[in-house]
Amino acid sequence: MRPTAFHLERSWQGRTVDQETAGRPLSWQAAQAFAAEGAHVILDTDEPQRRAQRFDALAREQGLQDTVLQWATRDFGTITIREEAPRSGEPMGEGPTPSVPGSVALVGSGPGDPELLTLAAMRAIAEADVIFADRLGAAGDCLRLAPGSLIVDVGKKPGHHSMIQELINDQMTVFARTGARVVRLKGGDPFIFGRGSEEWQHLAENGIRVDVVPGITSALAVPARAGIPATHRGITRAVTIISGHEAIDGAEAAALVQLGGSVMILMGMGTLPLTQRALLEAGLDPATPASVIHRGFHGDEARCHSTLAAVAQDAADAGLTSPSIIVIGEVAGLHTTTADITDGL
């Protein structure tokens, strides 16, 4: 870029930067870099504020008052990068009203530690107009990463859903059709027991563009944090990830025993005694190592290392409840060799 005289119209700490010549969002850091190269940096607060007010009004029309964690009321704006300074007295303009449909990004927030959000996830959150966040998603970090976004709590708790799935699908469609950049923020990875594919199908059937931002799945990351690998040369070369909403039946247990390897169970604390019994009846050695890791990557993380024969009772005695990851297999016994490392993290 040819260096020219430039000035910053006013100080701004917003979340979105539009480069007029490229027609795509840029970060605040990128705007500063352009300015350092001599670009003329113009601030226009009207259009983003108008977007925020429009989506606030739509949320109220849709009856979302009880589920919104944050209304998009903070003053923020748009930085427009121009190679030439405007003529004296030239109005900055109100900015164009979006003429293209919005989009939905299915974003995985990882196992819980905000430092495990990917760069793509942070960018999608920062650029979002509306965020539909699960309880297990990084909803708290949205307040920091997207201070101008509308944040809707659609979190699911055991036995209680703040918003049923069909309504989540419909609300995402409504906002995207008005031009909103929507983020559907989910814990772990959206496509591992996250209903990501169901939401994608619904949105695609309604003509909404969908972007996917994979997340780090807790099924692998949480055990790894506890020193339990999913695979280990000479011990196992197979990993099975299971939803524990329903206990495995006899045929499934027999297949798991025949396959061998590591079994990672998500959302399985309520059915753990039944799963334990099925595996024992299918012939799995009662002495097989088994571990339960509760709220991995959180400050109150707790672990229980046991055997298949005792894991349900030991976990109950330790007070471990959902959300927890259950690991059954020889790899669960490897935590002792990495205890000094993981305890120091």
Active site members: 134, 156, 267
Give the SS3 label for residue 41: strand
CA distance 37 to 1: 7
CA distance 345 to 340: 9
Give the SS3 label for residue 324: strand
Sheet of 68-70, strand order: 68-70, 150-153, 130-133, 181-186, 103-108, 209-213
Residue 19's contacts (CB-CB under 8 Å, 6 or more residues apart) are: 25, 26, 30, 34, 80, 81
**What is the C-alpha radius of gyration for the chain, rounded to an integer number of angstroms?**
24
Strand partners, 26: 17
User: Exposure of 234 by Cβ count < 10 A (0-12 exposed, 13-18 middle, 19+ buried)?
Assistant: exposed
- Residue 86, both tokens: 């405007």
| Cβ contact 35:41 at 8 Å | yes
Q: What do you get for the CA distance between the two ends of the chain, in Å?
A: 45
Tokens 């994608």 appear where?
Answer: 200
